[in-house]
């Protein structure tokens, strides 16, 4: 019989009276603890009782249980209870989340209906509205003795309108990127603002190709111009501006009227901003009446109707094979961003949605052709981007015809010439069911009239402005031109005498006899960069230029050497691109400048009378890069850094334009259109 020690007696008493918080199940065999310690942290629930007998150690009582954190035991007796507790906890969290979601949706829907109910109003008692006699019966005058619109029907609608009549009259021609940027950046309390445009909406042109195939709806790309004008307490006239009478500060405006025929009247101005945009360039090609263009919402609507109509005609049993091939042939004349994006969108429509609702045989008959006069498409982009876009189109079976010039467009085919690799020109033709003409921009009629009426205008393709965006030849500080209708004259050489004037006065010599030291040349270079910001890119190394053009090594630049230097800079400077970002930046510049000018009326004029130069710096264009969509992929040309990619790049492309959208309303519509396309496909109805 084993000898009992005092220690073993104490352990037995403790094991007989366990603590009430300890679990004390039935004794377990020793095999329960063979795998001790377990993976989970263990907490002892009772002391172990040992007995020593004859120099050996034996476990006398192995009944205490070890609890794993969370309630499970080593033996697993508490596992079912713990699993049940865990399941109940997850069920509780799930029901709580579902309940919170249902409650949130219910509150949002209820809140929407409550808000919607407040938007319905009953007719209030009509109140008397004061109208100026000049608003109903304007006085006549001007060169053609037409009515002069000096007061508007809504001048008396509010106190702000009554006060704005006494302020300088600012008239903006156009409702595009430049005009809207002016409205968003000008202080409305400084001017009486009027917008004149035949389109009563702002059009988000970069996404216009997406509307031609139903990826986006037309109304998702437009914002009512009256809504934008109302925020600056201005006025809007839906009409065409035909002529500007600079001597009398009058704009001749016309609009057709169903009952009285053509209405003509004058709109007076104190400040005029010309932002009428451009129209498609025909390049003298005949037969363009058979082509479709892509400049307006109506153009996009016509293209969508024609695409769907061609598909429907191709399904009819009486259509011959040759006619079916012609109907399903789509030709794009022009490999710029608009032409490339339209071809990509059209391919997406035919590849993703055509076989879902039309006979699959049509997909094998469809052909898309891009006719480009240059050696590659997207020729204004980085070469890497152009190559990627061309390879992408080749993979998608889009036929790209480079070094090809359209000579004539007939009713059913395009005639063009193309040079082969040996330089031999061949005449070819392409049958088409739809031909899109997208080959550059040209002047509008009012732009042509402004250029023709000013002798100082030398560029016959656009309105020339100085670096302050003032129309050259017009009264100084009264007329500005921005966007596609204008170009900035950057002839630095013309101002060489002006740059040398101060040095000629100091040396008491004619400007033609002055010689400049390096420090004087540095000062002149700084002045040139301030007056002509575009030249700054070519004047970074003034020391290198001084050494290069000092041909006689005299240590100075004489008049002839300086002239050659400035002429080379003029040749290197290019005109600003006809893009939305250029018009937007110029509109922002004009809006801020006009605000500063309104506050600087009491300032003394400079010696040259140039108050614009006194209160605001010349315009400087910052190129932010180019984007293009190439069919479930996108390309980015960002100031020397190019990026191409698939769906990730496409979503990034969408994000950029989504952020640039003009209002929250259009952003919401864009999002819903993209969601609708993903869920239900593109809209292929003729509406």
Interval 142-159: pLDDT, tens: 999 999 999 888 887 777
Q: Could you tell me which residues come within 8 angstroms of residue 66 by beta carbon, excluding any fewer than 6 positions away?
A: 36, 38, 42, 43, 44, 45, 73, 74
pTM to 2 decimals?
A: 0.79
pLDDT confidence band for 328 (50 / 70 / 90): very high
Q: Decide: 611 and 605 in contact? Cβ < 8 Å.
A: yes
Which pLDDT tens digit goes with each residue over 569-628?
877 777 788 889 999 999 999 999 999 998 876 554 444 467 888 888 899 898 888 889
659 pLDDT above the threshold of 50: yes
- Decide if pLDDT at 273 tops 60: yes
Task: Read off the pLDDT of residues 89-117 as tens digits, 9 standing for 90 and up.
Answer: 888 899 999 999 999 999 999 998 998 88
Residue 565 pLDDT > 50: yes
Predicted confidence at residue 80, as pLDDT, reads 62
Q: Residues near 181 by Cβ (< 8 Å), separated by ≥ 6?
A: 583, 584, 585, 586, 587, 588, 590, 591
Q: How far apart are CA 401 and CA 379, in angstroms?
A: 14
Task: Determine the 3-state secondary structure of 12 from DSSP.
Answer: helix
User: How many whole angstroms separate alpha carbon 284 and alpha carbon 265?
Assistant: 34
> Is 50 exceeded by the pLDDT of residue 656?
yes
Helix (H, G, I), strand (E, B) or coil at 503: helix
Q: Across residues 552-581, what is the average pLDDT?
A: 82
Asked whether residue 132 carries a pLDDT value surpassing 70, the answer given is yes
Pairing status of strand 413-419 against strand 425-431: antiparallel
Task: Name the band, by pLDDT with cuts 50, 70 and 90, for residue 126.
Answer: low
Residues 225 and 175 sit within 8 Å (Cβ to Cβ): yes
The whole-number average pLDDT for the span 396-403 is 92
Range name among 84-88, 188-192, 389-393, 470-474 with the lowest pLDDT average? 84-88
Rounding to the nearest 10 degrees, give the CA dihedral for residues 451, 456, 460, 462: -60
CA separation for the pair 40, 449 (Å, rounded): 88
Q: Are 569 and 525 in contact (CB under 8 A)?
A: no
Residue predicted with more confidence, 501 or 119: 119
Residue 51 has pLDDT above 70, yes or no: no
For residue 232, the model assigns a pLDDT of 92
Of the chain, the percentage scoring pLDDT greater than 70 comes to 86
pLDDT value at residue 213: 93
Q: How many residues does the chain have?
A: 687
| Pairing label, strands 413-419, 404-409 | antiparallel
Q: How confident is the model at residue 130 (pLDDT cuts 50, 70, 90)?
A: confident
577: DSSP letter: P
Between helix 664-680 and helix 647-660 the angle, nearest 10°, is: 150
Question: Which of 9-18, 253-262, 376-385 has the lowest average pLDDT?
Answer: 9-18
> In the prediction, which pLDDT does 563 show?
84
Q: What is the pLDDT of residue 603?
A: 53
Looking at every residue in the chain, the average pLDDT score rounds to 83
* Contact (CB, 8 A) for 222 and 176: no
**pLDDT, position 609:** 61
184: left (phi over 0), alpha (psi -120 to 50) or beta: alpha
CB contact at 8 A, 271 and 478: yes
Among 634, 630, 638, residue whose Cα is nearest residue 654 = 634
pLDDT surpassing 70 at residue 44 = no
| Number of other CB atoms surrounding residue 598 within 10 Å | 18
pLDDT bucket at 124, cuts 50 / 70 / 90? low
CA distances from residue 106 to 93, 379, 639 in whole angstroms, order as listed? 20, 54, 49
- Rounded Cα distance between 310 and 120, Å, is 43
Percentage of the chain modeled with pLDDT above 90: 47
Tens of pLDDT, residues 413-447: 999 999 888 888 999 999 999 999 998 888 899 99
Using the predicted structure, report yes or no on whether residue 4 has a pLDDT greater than 70: no
Segment 665-682 shows an average pLDDT of: 93
More confident residue, 26 or 515: 515
Task: Tell me what pLDDT residue 393 has.
Answer: 92
Write the secondary structure of 188-247 as one string of H (helix), E (strand) and C (coil). CCCCEEEEECCCCEEECHHHHHHHCCCCCCHHHHEEEHHHHHHCCCCEEECCEEEEEECC
Q: Among 194, 138, 191, which Cα is nearest to 166's?
A: 191
**From 372-381, 446-455, 608-617, the region with the lowest mean pLDDT:** 608-617
pLDDT number for residue 479: 96
pLDDT at 13 over 60: no
Separation between Cα atoms, residue 588 and residue 597, nearest integer Å: 14
Nearest CA to 198 among 529, 446, 559? Answer: 446
By CB atoms closer than 10 A (0-12, 13-18, 19+), residue 601 is exposed
Cα–Cα distance for residue pair 470/449, rounded to 1 Å: 17
Lowest mean pLDDT among 72-86, 308-322, 389-403, 525-539: 72-86
CA distances from 403 to 330, 406, 407 (A): 19, 10, 13
- Residue pair 200/175 in contact (Cβ under 8 Å)? The answer is yes
pLDDT at 504: 73
Confidence of residue 411 (pLDDT cuts 50, 70, 90): very high
H or E element that contains 280: strand 279-280
Whether 198 and 176 have beta carbons less than 8 Å apart is answered as no
């Amino acid at each position: 019989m084993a000898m009992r020690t005092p220690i073993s007696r104490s352990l037995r008493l403790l094991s007989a009276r366990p603590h009430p918080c300890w679990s004390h199940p039935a004794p377990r065999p020793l095999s329960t603890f063979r795998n001790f310690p377990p993976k989970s942290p263990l907490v002892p629930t009772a002391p172990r009782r040992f007995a020593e007998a004859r120099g050996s150690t034996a476990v006398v009582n192995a009944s205490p249980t070890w609890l794993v954190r969370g309630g499970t035991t080593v033996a697993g007796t508490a596992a079912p209870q713990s699993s049940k507790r865990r399941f109940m906890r997850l069920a509780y969290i799930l029901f709580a989340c579902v309940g919170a979601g249902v409650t949130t949706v219910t509150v949002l829907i209820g809140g929407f209906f409550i808000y919607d109910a407040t938007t319905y109003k009953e007719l209030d008692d009509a109140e008397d509205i004061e109208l100026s006699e000049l608003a109903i019966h304007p006085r006549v005058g001007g060169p053609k003795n037409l009515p002069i619109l000096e007061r508007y029907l809504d001048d008396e609608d509010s106190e702000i309108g009554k006060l704005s009549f006494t302020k300088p009259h600012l008239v903006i021609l156009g409702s595009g990127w430049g005009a809207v940027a002016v409205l968003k950046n000008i202080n409305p309390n400084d001017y009486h603002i009027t917008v004149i445009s035949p389109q009563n909406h702002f059009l988000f042109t970069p996404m216009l190709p997406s509307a031609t195939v139903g990826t986006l709806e037309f109304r998702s790309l437009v914002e009512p111009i009256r809504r934008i004008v109302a925020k600056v307490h201005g006025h809007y006239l839906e009409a065409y501006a035909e002529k500007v009478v600079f001597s009398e500060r009058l704009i001749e405006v016309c609009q057709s009227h169903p009952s009285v025929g053509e209405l003509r009247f004058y709109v007076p101005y104190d400040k005029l901003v010309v932002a009428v945009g451009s129209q498609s360039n025909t390049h003298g090609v005949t037969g363009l009446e058979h082509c479709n263009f892509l400049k307006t919402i109506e153009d996009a609507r016509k293209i969508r109707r024609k695409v769907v109509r061609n598909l429907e005609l191709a399904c009819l049993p009486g259509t011959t094979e040759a006619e079916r091939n012609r109907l399903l042939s789509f030709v794009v004349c022009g490999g710029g961003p608009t032409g490339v994006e339209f071809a990509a969108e059209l391919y997406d429509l035919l590849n993703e949605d055509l076989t879902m609702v039309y006979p699959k045989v049509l997909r094998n008959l469809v052909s898309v052709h891009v006719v480009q006069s240059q050696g590659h498409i997207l020729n204004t982009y980085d070469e890497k981007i152009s190559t990627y876009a061309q390879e992408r189109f080749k993979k998608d079976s889009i036929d790209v015809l480079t070094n090809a010039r359209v000579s004539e467009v007939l009713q059913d085919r395009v005639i063009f010439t193309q040079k082969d690799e040996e330089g031999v020109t061949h005449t070819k033709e392409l049958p088409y069911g739809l031909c899109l003409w997208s080959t550059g921009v040209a002047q509008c009629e009012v732009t042509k009239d402004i250029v023709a009426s000013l002798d100082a205008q030398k560029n016959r393709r656009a309105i020339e402005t100085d670096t302050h965006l003032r129309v050259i030849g017009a009264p100084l500080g009264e007329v500005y031109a921005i966007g596609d209708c204008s170009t900035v004259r950057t002839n630095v050489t013309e101002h060489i005498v002006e740059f040398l004037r101060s040095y000629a006065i100091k040396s008491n010599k004619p400007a033609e006899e002055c010689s400049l030291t390096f420090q004087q040349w540095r000062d002149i270079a700084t002045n040139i960069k301030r007056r002509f910001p575009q030249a700054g890119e070519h004047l970074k190394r003034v020391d290198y230029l001084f050494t290069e053009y000092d041909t006689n090594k005299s240590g100075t630049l004489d008049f002839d050497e300086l002239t050659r230097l400035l002429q080379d800079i003029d040749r290197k400077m290019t005109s600003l691109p006809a893009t939305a970002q250029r018009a937007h930046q110029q509109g922002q510049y004009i809006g801020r400048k006009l605000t500063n000018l309104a506050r600087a009326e009491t300032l003394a004029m400079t010696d040259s009378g140039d108050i614009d130069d006194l209160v605001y710096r010349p315009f400087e264009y910052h190129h932010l890069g180019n984007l293009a969509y190439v069919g479930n992929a996108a390309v980015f040309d960002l100031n020397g850094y190019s990026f191409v990619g698939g769906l990730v790049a496409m979503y990034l492309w969408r994000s950029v334009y989504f952020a640039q959208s003009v209002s929250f309303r259009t952003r919401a519509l864009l999002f819903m259109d993209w969601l609708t396309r993903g869920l239900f496909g593109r809209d292929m109805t003729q509406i």
